Structure 1
């Protein structure tokens, strides 16, 4: 069987578990071949289908996320190693980097803080955007911090990116020009897609009945951590613009809303 035929069969099978069955099939097949997806499409569709694809497909049919199966996830202009125990970077989160780029314009933040850094997602994307910047990523998970440090080293950013175990901004000193945060924001009773519910860490997803608990802890600390002229960008659930904006305004911040590619509320810039 050729790669082309195997892809068609795999995509049909994945329709039962995925919103992007063709893309999933292509990513899994490329991983099995040991080439990039682009290279596979351009050069390898006529090759024999790799034997490893069947096992990878079985894992995806059990709802395991593609990023955990391949161990990689592209985000902004970088690619990150990911795996069980870390939140998988989402395209929607790129809205935070877009908001920061717009806010700073021709300026560049010198010091960047990423609260809840996970595998280093937002911090390393920001450091790629501003090559002269230094940054600190904080997370409560040792597993996530291990991924973050390895990603920084792989991307050649180990000298510019520090990581520490912590509880949001607690115990942090100094001021930062840019603070980024993608905290847990899902209510404990909200339904989740199977691949998220079964595999991704609940500690990175849930934040009380309304999904607002961590915003109430993060926002009051931001003023002491922000340098003059700095800005903080928080990711929000698409229904949370008003309640999180209210928390921010009560903390004395001006708030600007940014929408993701699906035109849903996704990030708040606090200044």
Structure 2
């Protein structure tokens, strides 16, 4: 996002988790010699799901299945055809470690090492915000606008993080080039890796720096961004997966959550080509404030789109 950096460190993996022996924490009803030699796929899922449920993890059964599928290198649905298969000791050990990490509320995407965004498998880690489903709507709005121009176009992804927006746009609009910026060098490393993996690296230029500084003198048909928009005081109320593992600068929008929008509203017009669009993701309930900030800087707000839960999520603006 506009500013990224190193988030808080990993929670210390304590030897005792919830009072359980770490050697048996997710299979506590089995004796050591029993579960090492006779744990079935179904039992592994059930015991893991029970542990995750006690740790407050959402959808514990699904999460357990995804973790075991990762260990076994199988599609998740294949587990249902292998419920009676006996897990090897190394597989039990690997599952136990992944379940321990998930029980400590490390995001599933970090454990698996990737997440899906607009159909693209992207690497994620502690240096980048894990892309959310609502951000797919922002990407879609961006590539639809560029595609209808019917000409070569240039977009800016401001605060690229994992590179999800830049990659989706470059992949969906072959005539487009993207300049993707981020203040975090570690985030740019992840984004470059993802762009290469998706075969669009030749049409994305990654630049290091804060805000619009890396694009001085450049103008774009599209400026798109998922900026930090969480009010600072609310960060501590977020789920541990977000609060402890997403990079804090990618979340922290200042006292009212609107600092990045002020900066973009004030400086963005110098970088927008005639007929171009500005597209931003925003937080729940921020629509009126973001509209006011943009209009105060002489932007014309064309549309505010809703996400899957009918919350105002994307603002689309232009210059006269």
Q: 2:170 aligns with which of 127, 133, 138?
A: 127
Q: CA deviation at 1:220?
A: 1.8
The residue that corresponds to 1:261 in the other structure is 308
Distance 2:259 2:144 in 1: 28
Q: CA deviation at 1:102?
A: 4.8
Q: 2:266 aligns with which of 203, 208, 220?
A: 220
The residue that corresponds to 1:63 in the other structure is 105
Q: Is the 8 A contact 2:306 2:314 kept in 1?
A: yes
Q: CA deviation at 1:41?
A: 4.3
Asked if residue 161 in structure 1 is aligned to residue 204 in structure 2, the reply is yes
Q: CA deviation at 1:208?
A: 1.1
Q: Is the 8 A contact 2:146 2:153 kept in 1?
A: no
Q: Is the 8 A contact 2:222 2:272 kept in 1?
A: yes
Give TM-score scaled by structure 1 length: 0.93
The residue that corresponds to 2:63 in the other structure is 24
Report the CA distance shift for 1:154/1:102 in structure 2 as closer, same or farther (over 3 A).
closer
Map 1:1-271; keep pairs closer than 5 Å: 1-15=39-53, 16-38=55-77, 40-41=78-79, 43-49=81-87, 50-51=91-92, 52-104=94-146, 106-107=148-149, 110-172=153-215, 173-190=217-234, 191-255=237-301, 256-271=303-318
Distance 1:11 1:156 in 2: 37
Q: Is the 8 A contact 1:187 1:209 kept in 2?
A: yes
Deviates more, 1:175-184 or 1:21-30: 21-30
Tell me, what secondary structure is at the counterpart of 2:131?
A: coil
Question: Which string of whole-angstrom CA distances, capped at 9 and with x for unpartnered residues, describes residues 123-176 of structure 1?
Answer: 111112112211111000011000001111111111111111111112412221
Q: CA deviation at 1:43?
A: 5.0
Question: Which string of whole-angstrom CA distances, capped at 9 and with x for unpartnered residues, describes residues 235-261 of structure 1?
Answer: 101121111111111122222111111
Question: Which string of whole-angstrom CA distances, capped at 9 and with x for unpartnered residues, describes residues 80-117 of structure 1?
Answer: 00111211111111120232345456335621110010
Q: Is the 8 A contact 1:238 1:265 kept in 2?
A: yes
Give TM-score scaled by structure 2 length: 0.79
Q: Unpaired segments of 5 or more residues in structure 1?
A: none
Report the CA distance shift for 1:209/1:6 in structure 2 as closer, same or farther (over 3 A).
same
Number of aligned residue pairs: 270
